[in-house]
Structure 1
Amino acid sequence: MSDRLPEGTHIGYVHLQVRDLGRSLAFYRDLLGFREIGREGATVLLSATGALPPMWVLTARLGARPKPPRTTGLYHVAIRLPTRRDLAQVFQRLLAHGWPFQGFSDHGVSEALYLPDPDGNGLEIYRDRPRDQWPWREGRLAMVTQPLDVEDLLREAEAGPAQGLPPGTDIGHVHLHVADLEEAEAFYCGVLGLEVTQRDYPGARFFAAGGYHHHVGTNIWAGRGAPPPPPDAVGLLAFTLVVPDEAAWAGVRDRARAAGVLLRERPGVLWLRDPSMNPLRVTVEGRFSGEELEV
């Protein structure tokens, strides 16, 4: 059995702790266009399609405080749109509502908008270029950070207020603050079975399955040895890595057991934390169950 995760591996839902559920829904549901598909107590499930599985799980915690600077945890969640026109439509909608942006980048492999959610959680909204246009250097992927031509992007937008999100919208990747890049690589490659796609980006390392540019990004920009955020801070409660079949899932389970990092398991669900205490779940495609939302 290969210890590399197969093509078809992808990021599933992201579970965030938020301070005010109504404020978060006004952003994720009413402005971005995700659709509410379930609610229980202080937890709401959202998707782009209006059907399971979710893409976002939002759980409100009364009195949750901002994530302290110079801690590990979420850097950003990246929402991937199918086309450049789709990206332009969402960009136009956010501009019309006066939402603040933190940056605009052309990464060679993609075009990306950066912004905070209402709690300051980082978001990237992006579209991929076709794979045959991705830049390479000495046989390795070479993502870059160049200015994005936002005026050219906006010319792609259609007139009139577009609502909702297009079919094919998903979570393309998750980018995390970690305490140590070597430890991160040992976990995301050695335990999970992802492959390094770029290691020469300053202070960062990127991992993926199936030849994608990255499903997980890690960086030490919060400081080498940074501690995890406190449990009452807004931010990441977990992200999910979805594998295409039981064999791939069992491989992760066995490697996690051998490494002593498996917190608990149920059929089709593994609960793990990386060496920087970032929480994640590994699930099998098509096996979503509400029980896995337990923190």
Structure 2
Amino acid sequence: MSNIPFAATTPISVSRVGLKARDAEALANFYRDVVGLQELGRDGETITLGAGTRALLDIEADKAAQPDDPRSAGLFHTAFLLPTRADLGRWIKHAIDKRIPVDGASDHLVSEALYLTDPEGNGIEIYSDRPHERWKWSGSHVDMATEQLDIASIVADAGEVAWQGAPENSIVGHVHLRVGDAATAAEWWSKEFGFDTVAKYGSSAVFLSSGGYHHHIGANSWQSPRAGKRDQSRTGLAWVEMRSADAKADTSREDPWGTVIRTVPGLPG
């Protein structure tokens, strides 16, 4: 069994994500078949998926919901972090074998990632981190980029072991949000969670973290400049749940765009 990724060892990290779906069954099947999550339980109209015993994704059924508006505030992608590069290689072989459509693939220096979209338009990242001891920092900012991914090298690391679903200690490493203004998002996450700004892409994207991770939260206005409050009747992101070592009880708050951010107590790991 691989160790828990560094992203989950920080004082605050992402616990899980909630999605609202018109067809929860079909969406759950996608996350099982494509991402490799396992069904952990059901509660009414909500299906909980995860890896091992760790819940990572809740899918809430709402057949009356309107489709998500990609120009509004909401979810850019949920990023599922696999424990090792070999695990990512196995997922890539799985994607090739099953002819899973992929939207993109990038080497970000700190991580290696592939991107896809679920049947209801929610963005997904599947990635593995390079060892955090090797990340390069310029003061308080970590060096990240978007370069060509060496898929052959990653697949070679997988060896002959086949993909058998998301392995134990897979986590949601980060969540990337659509917001109306990146600077406002950075200010909110700093005030509410004490997050550090560790990278910026101009004035339209910001990356924030706890404990020296490359980012637990990304926020961009690439598709959603000057977006207002979210329309809660639409599909897509229902909430993001953070785990905090300092939290004494479950709490819930909304960011400036009405995105629900939950906090639950819990030790790192």
TM > 0.5 fold call? yes
How many percent of aligned residue pairs carry the same amino acid? 35
Report the equivalent of 1:37.
40
Structure 2: distance between partners of 1:160 and 1:195: 38
Partner SS state of residue 247, structure 2: helix
Report the equivalent of 1:21.
24
Report the equivalent of 1:258.
none
1:2-42 alpha-carbon deviations (Å, 9 max, x no partner): xxxx9332100100011212211221123322121111221
1:228-248 alpha-carbon deviations (Å, 9 max, x no partner): 44223221100111001xxx2
Unaligned runs of 5+ in 1: 1-5, 251-267, 287-295
Report the equivalent of 1:275.
256
Report the equivalent of 1:61.
62
Decide whether the 8 Å contact of 1:73 with 1:228 is kept in 2: no
Structure 1: distance between partners of 2:48 and 2:189: 27
Deviation at 1:140, TM superposition (A): 2.5
Moved more, 7-16 or 30-39: 30-39
Decide whether the 8 Å contact of 2:42 with 2:48 is kept in 1: yes
How does the TM-score come out when normalised to structure 1? Answer: 0.82
Q: 5 Å matches for 1:1-295?
A: 7-49=10-52, 51=53, 53-137=54-138, 140-159=141-160, 161-201=162-202, 203-244=204-245, 248-249=246-247, 268-285=249-266
Decide whether the 8 Å contact of 1:80 with 1:172 is kept in 2: yes
Distance 1:40 1:195, change over 3 A: same
Structure 1: distance between partners of 2:181 and 2:141: 22
4+ runs deviating over 6 angstroms: none
- Write the letter of the residue equivalent to 2:23: D
* Backbone CA RMSD of aligned residues: 1.9
Structure 2: distance between partners of 1:139 and 1:57: 34
Structure 1: distance between partners of 2:85 and 2:120: 27
1:202-249 alpha-carbon deviations (Å, 9 max, x no partner): 6211111111111001111123211344223221100111001xxx22
Structure 1: distance between partners of 2:233 and 2:60: 12
Structure with greater Cα Rg: 1
Unaligned runs of 5+ in 2: 1-8
